[in-house]
Amino acid sequence: MRTAPLPALPPGAFRYRQLDIGQGDAALLESGDGPAALVDTGPDPRAETLLRAVRGVGRRLAWVLVTHGHSDHHGGLEGVLALGLPERLIIPAAPVEGAEWARTLAFVRGTGADVVEASRGTKLTFAANVNVEVLAPSSPPIERSRSDVNANGIVVRVDHMHADRTHRFLLTGDAELPTEARLLERPEALRADVLKVAHHGSSFSSSLRFLEAVAPTYAVISAAEGNDYGHPHAAALERLLGVDARILRTDLNGEVVFTSGNGTLEVQVDAEVPDAAEAVAPRGDDRNLPRRHRWKHHGER
C-alpha cells in the first residue's frame, strides 16, 4: 500500500496509477494540466487506498468510469460519492445485472450526478493532450457468452500525446474472449504501451491474437494476494510472456504507477520482486515460466 505521496505532475505530463485495492480494479488517471479521472472503484467503499487517492485529487476528479456492474469494480463507488465527487459517472451502454448494481445506480442518480452511457466511439473529455476513447461495448450486445456482463463492459484507450510520440494505455475491465474478437475488427486501435490485463489475469481473456495486436511493453494485473480465484492464471501469464510483455501485479508489486512526459514512460512500483516471480501463478497449475517462452496456440486450454 502506498503511503508516501507522489510528486506533483508538471504541465503536459500524464500519470496512470493502478491502485492496490485487493481483488478488484481501480485506476486513477491524472493530468499535469489539472483533470483527474477514476476507472473502476474496487470492491470496498471504505478502502483507505481508494479514498486517499481520491482525496489527493479532490475537485480535479472530472469523472468516474465503471466498466461493468460487478461489485469488485463498482463496490467502492459510494465511498467516492460520499466525498462529494464526481459530477459525472460513465457506465456501459449495455445490459448489466444484479440488485447491488441497481441499488448503486439508483443511489448515484439520487446524488444528482450526470450519468452517461458509453459505447464504442464515445470520446471522453480529459486534458488537451490526452484523448480518451471507448472501444467497447458495441452493438448489438454480446449474448449467451460465459458472462454477458463482463463481455459487454467498457474497454477504454487513453492516448497521451507528446511532440515526439504518443503513449497509449488500454484498460480492458473484465473483457471476455468474445469482446476481444469484436475489438480485433479494428486491430489498429488496440496497440498500446500499457495493457491493464482483463479480468485479473483470468484464463477467460487475453487470447494470444488479442495480445499480439496490443503488443504491450507492460502488462498490469490487478489481483489480491492469496485470492480465492487463483488469479492470475498460468495460461494467461504464459501468453503475456509470449508477446514479451513485462508483467506487473498488484498482488506482488503493490501499486503500479506509470508517468508519461517528455517522450519517456517511467514505471514505479511499491515493491520489487525477484526476477521472474511475476510469471508464477499463485496456485493450481502454477509454473515458473521462462521469461522468453513462446507458446503459439491461439486458443484457451
Which of 142-151, 225-234, 244-253, 290-299 has the lowest average pLDDT?
A: 290-299
Q: Which of 296, 260, 231 lies closest to 162, judged by CA? A: 260
CA distance 199 to 175: 7
pLDDT above 70: percentage of residues in the chain:
91
Q: Give domain status of residue 300, yes or no.
A: no
Q: Which amino acid is at 295?
A: W
User: Are the beta carbons of 70 and 100 closer than 8 angstroms?
Assistant: no
CA distance 275 to 291: 9
User: Are the beta carbons of 73 and 25 closer than 8 angstroms?
Assistant: yes
Q: Give domain status of residue 87, yes or no.
A: yes
- pTM of structure: 0.91
Q: Give domain status of residue 180, yes or no.
A: yes
Q: Give domain status of residue 153, yes or no.
A: yes
Which residues have CB under 8 Å from 68's CB, separation 6+?
Answer: 92, 96, 149, 150, 152, 153, 154, 173, 174
**pLDDT-derived band at 2, boundaries 50, 70, 90:** low
Q: Give domain status of residue 290, yes or no.
A: no
Which of 8-22, 54-68, 104-118, 243-257 has the lowest average pLDDT?
A: 104-118
Q: β-strand 256-261 against 14-18: which pairing, if any?
A: antiparallel
The pLDDT mean for the chain works out to 89
Q: Give domain status of residue 293, yes or no.
A: no
Give the model's pLDDT for residue 138.
95
The domain spanning residue 161 has which CATH number?
A: 3.60.15.10
Q: β-strand 155-161 against 256-261: which pairing, if any?
A: unpaired
Instruction: Note the pLDDT tens digit of each residue in 79-109.
Output: 999 998 888 999 998 766 678 788 888 888 8
User: Are the beta carbons of 34 and 62 closer than 8 angstroms?
Assistant: no
pLDDT above 90: percentage of residues in the chain:
75
Instruction: Note the pLDDT tens digit of each residue in 156-179.
Output: 999 999 878 899 999 999 999 999
Q: Give domain status of residue 295, yes or no.
A: no
Give the model's pLDDT for residue 289.
39
Q: Does residue 288 surpass a pLDDT of 60?
A: no
Domain that residue 269 falls in:
14-279
Which grid coordinates are listed for 299? 486458443
Instruction: Note the pLDDT tens digit of each residue in 113-126.
Output: 899 999 999 999 89
Q: Give domain status of residue 287, yes or no.
A: no
User: Are the beta carbons of 85 and 35 closer than 8 angstroms?
Assistant: no
Distance, C-alpha 157 to centroid of its chain: 10
Number of domains in the chain: 1
